[in-house]
Amino acid sequence: MAFPVTRLRRLRRTDQLRNLVRETRLTPEAFVYPMFVCPGEGVRKEVRSMPGVFNLSVDEAVKEAQEVHSLGIPSVILFGLPDRKDEVATGAWADDGIVQQAARAMKRGVPDLILMGDVCLCEYMSHGHCGIVKAASTPKSLGAAARDAMNTARVVAVRNREEKKKAIEALATVVTRAAQVEFEIDNDASLELLARTSVSLTRAGIDIIAPSDMMDGRVAAIRAALDEANFINTPILSYAAKFASGFYGPFREAADSAPQFGDRRSYQMDGANLREAMREIELDIEEGADMIMVKPAMPYLDVIAAARDRFDLPLAAYQVSGEYAMIEAAARNGWIEHDRVMMEALLSIRRAGASIILTYHAKAAARLLA
Ligand SMILES: [Zn+2]
């Protein structure tokens, strides 16, 4: 039946009618609030590129967790800023690691809050990568590098200072390139550390283990280690389809986890690949994931929708730091209406099919929904 019998505007006439026929609803129960825990006492340091988000010492984190809980948000996910970093991510799996300390204190202070533990190594590695780094090629001796450079460099007649400077610079570049070591992230060696981290976090009181490293086989390795340690009831929420994304920028400041060299494209997913995302998710489910996640959220709503369509596990989406920062920045400039855009963004993620939303907007959104 078409117009004029059918008029879709009939059900849009009033607030009450619109509310009655609304297909998607947001509730604070869907939110998980990410928190960054740092050493010290009384520390509450705002992240420059994420206004309203703080690095918190354990005591402040407990206070924040109480506030989160009082707003009806059921869960937080913890990230740590260790006081020291090394080549084996000791801070990730040590008994007195910063997240372990926070988990113990939060379990005492806010026992009903579900604690998720992000499992990754980048925040604890001196090089900032999510796994163990090994050399993929042996460095050449400086002499060999220089010989190669001489062979590669073009012989040019130098007529003035400017040209001489240029020639020297070109030669230096060739020598550096020849002497450089290529690195790779050692997948299988990293699994042991991820498993060890998961057991340590669970022992400290973390309720849900959430691996975000994107190493192949990590879910199975973590499941086996948890079961071995008798934590058979600890669920795994796997960051199953995590894309290499420019939207993570502000997080790297918040968690001080930017890679010191290279990037994460050899382990995080290519943003162009939807079918591969389905394979990633499928494999994580086979390995024993209890819940799955797509990250980031808004640039990958189609991936969320496809995952919802195809898999029956609880589905989470991570609205990442860059998504948050864009909304905050534009609103601060008076270019968009903060609350309206925030809720519209969250609603889009929910509508795409995510039932759990990890978001820095959790507190502000929960206040609006109250
Ligand atoms: Zn990482």
Q: 318: pLDDT confidence band, cut at 50, 70 and 90?
A: very high
Q: How far is the CA of 312 from the centre of ligand 1 (A)?
A: 27
In a domain, residue 314? The reply is yes
d(CA 121, CA 184): 15
Residue 117 corresponds to which amino acid? G
Q: What domain range is 343 assigned to?
A: 26-131+204-369
Q: 138: pLDDT confidence band, cut at 50, 70 and 90?
A: low
SS (H, E, C) 281-305: HHHHHHHCCCEEEEECCHHHHHHHH
Q: 201: pLDDT confidence band, cut at 50, 70 and 90?
A: very high
Residues 85-100 have a mean pLDDT of 96
- Are residues 172 and 73 both part of a single domain? no
d(CA 125, CA 258): 10
Q: Per the residue annotation, which of 107, 166, 242, 363 is the catalytic one?
A: 242
User: CB–CB of 269/299 below 8 Å?
Assistant: no
Residues 124-139 have a mean pLDDT of 86
Q: What is the pLDDT of residues 251-299, one digit of tens each?
A: 988 888 888 888 999 999 999 999 999 999 999 999 999 999 999 999 9
Q: Per the residue annotation, which of 107, 134, 166, 295 is the catalytic one?
A: 295
- Are residues 153 and 299 both part of a single domain? no
- Are residues 164 and 277 both part of a single domain? no
In a domain, residue 300? The reply is yes
- Are residues 159 and 295 both part of a single domain? no
- Are residues 240 and 281 both part of a single domain? yes
- Are residues 172 and 82 both part of a single domain? no
Q: How far is the CA of 126 from the centre of ligand 1 (A)?
A: 12
- Are residues 158 and 244 both part of a single domain? no
Q: How far is the CA of 211 from the centre of ligand 1 (A)?
A: 9
- CA nearest to 316, candidates 307, 325, 329: 307
More confident residue, 149 or 216: 216
d(CA 246, CA 285): 27
This prediction has a pTM of: 0.89
User: CB–CB of 295/239 below 8 Å?
Assistant: yes
Q: How far is the CA of 6 from the centre of ligand 1 (A)?
A: 53
In a domain, residue 81? The reply is yes
More confident residue, 150 or 42: 42
Q: Tell me what pLDDT residue 312 has.
A: 98
Q: Name the DSSP class of 29.
A: G
* Number of alpha carbons in the 13 Å side-chain half-sphere of residue 369: 21
Share of the chain above pLDDT 90, in %: 83
Q: Tell me what pLDDT residue 183 has.
A: 86
- Collect contacts of 232-235 with beta carbons under 8 A, ≥24 apart: 234/202, 234/206, 234/207, 234/208, 234/209, 235/207, 235/208, 235/209, 235/290, 235/291
Q: Name the DSSP class of 39.
A: S
In a domain, residue 8? The reply is no
- Are residues 357 and 315 both part of a single domain? yes
165 is catalytic: no
Residues 168-176 have a mean pLDDT of 73
Residues 348-368 have a mean pLDDT of 98
User: CB–CB of 333/327 below 8 Å?
Assistant: no
- Res. 154: pLDDT tops 70: no
Lowest mean pLDDT among 11-20, 205-214, 234-243, 257-266: 257-266
For the record, the structure tokens of 42 come out as 């009384």
Q: What is the pLDDT of residues 17-63, one digit of tens each?
A: 999 999 999 999 999 999 999 999 999 999 999 999 999 999 999 99
- Res. 141: pLDDT tops 80: no
The mean of the pLDDT values for the chain is 93
- Are residues 57 and 165 both part of a single domain? no
Q: How far is the CA of 123 from the centre of ligand 1 (A)?
A: 7
User: CB–CB of 223/288 below 8 Å?
Assistant: yes
- Are residues 279 and 172 both part of a single domain? no
Q: How far is the CA of 258 from the centre of ligand 1 (A)?
A: 9
Share of the chain above pLDDT 70, in %: 93
Q: Tell me what pLDDT residue 35 has.
A: 98
Q: Tell me what pLDDT residue 40 has.
A: 97
Q: How far is the CA of 112 from the centre of ligand 1 (A)?
A: 28
In a domain, residue 199? The reply is no
Q: Tell me what pLDDT residue 137 has.
A: 66
For the record, the structure tokens of 125 come out as 């590695």
- Are residues 147 and 250 both part of a single domain? no
Q: Tell me what pLDDT residue 182 has.
A: 78
- Res. 106: pLDDT tops 90: yes
Q: How far is the CA of 160 from the centre of ligand 1 (A)?
A: 49
Is residue 228 within a helix (H) or strand (E), and if so which, with residue range? helix 218-228
- Res. 155: pLDDT tops 70: no
45 is catalytic: no
- How many structural domains is the chain composed of? 2
- Are residues 300 and 254 both part of a single domain? yes
Residues 292-313 have a mean pLDDT of 98
* 201: region left, alpha or beta (phi > 0 left; psi from -120 to 50 alpha): alpha
CATH of the domain at 214: 3.20.20.70
Task: Name residues whose C-beta falls within 8 Å of residue 115's C-beta, 6 or more positions apart in sequence.
Answer: 75, 76, 78, 103, 106, 107, 205, 206, 207, 208
* 217: region left, alpha or beta (phi > 0 left; psi from -120 to 50 alpha): left
